[in-house]
Amino acid sequence: MAKSIRMHPDSALIRVEPQIDFTRPEGAFHLDGEAAIAVINRLTKKSPDVYDSYDWHDRDHDSFKRFGIHCVAESEGAQPDPDLDRSKVRAILMKGVDIHDDIYDSFDIPLLEPILRARGKKTLFIVGSAVPICPSLTAMSGARLGFETYLVLDACCIMPDTDIAKHIAELENAGVKVINSKDIDLD
């Protein structure tokens, strides 16, 4: 694909869980997100609007039964990756705050869609941690809600044992365009 995709004033970068527990080998998921964070930072510089969603869990959160302890509120693992460019973030939306609030899709945070619509956003670039869960579900919801939605794969941490070809097909069937940062005109 030629570099024909551009970020316009009606674009937004949605950064899903760019937190230490998801982006660092010492984090709870033991993922190496150094390359993804570098790509996220390049996209951040070009994006007109940036929104972050963070996992922010109570110490006894329900999701720990499935995924183990991660992103405990105020813990080091819940903090943004130390290399993450946070200079253009318009809003940080927390999910999983209530002990029984088991949210994976950032659009399940009631404020995200109204904020994007109020700011006239039509195109979304979704990045973050960890495919095939939170960024993927967020991208599928974005497409379902009528946004032109791109999942930027090289700006995502990917869970081990993910069948990426099968997952890309699922995303595309849901109306998500799966791309890499090289497909975006960042000049």
Task: Give yes or no for a contact between 15 and 52, defined as CB atoms under 8 angstroms apart.
Answer: yes
The domain locations on the chain are 11-183
Report the CATH superfamily, name and number, of domain 11-183: Isochorismatase-like (3.40.50.850)
Q: Which residues contact 7 (CB under 8 A, 6 or more apart)?
A: 13, 43, 46, 47, 48, 123, 125, 184
pLDDT > 90 fraction of the chain, expressed in percent and rounded: 85
For residue 113, what pLDDT is reported? 98
114-119-124 Cα angle (round to 5): 80
Residue 187, pLDDT > 80, answer: no
Half-sphere exposure in the Cβ direction for 182 (13 Å, CA): 3
Residue 2, pLDDT > 90, answer: no
For residue 102, what pLDDT is reported? 81
The whole-number average pLDDT for the span 132-137 is 97
Average of per-residue pLDDT values in the chain: 94
pLDDT digits (tens, 9 = 90+) for 96-122: 888 888 889 999 999 999 999 999 999
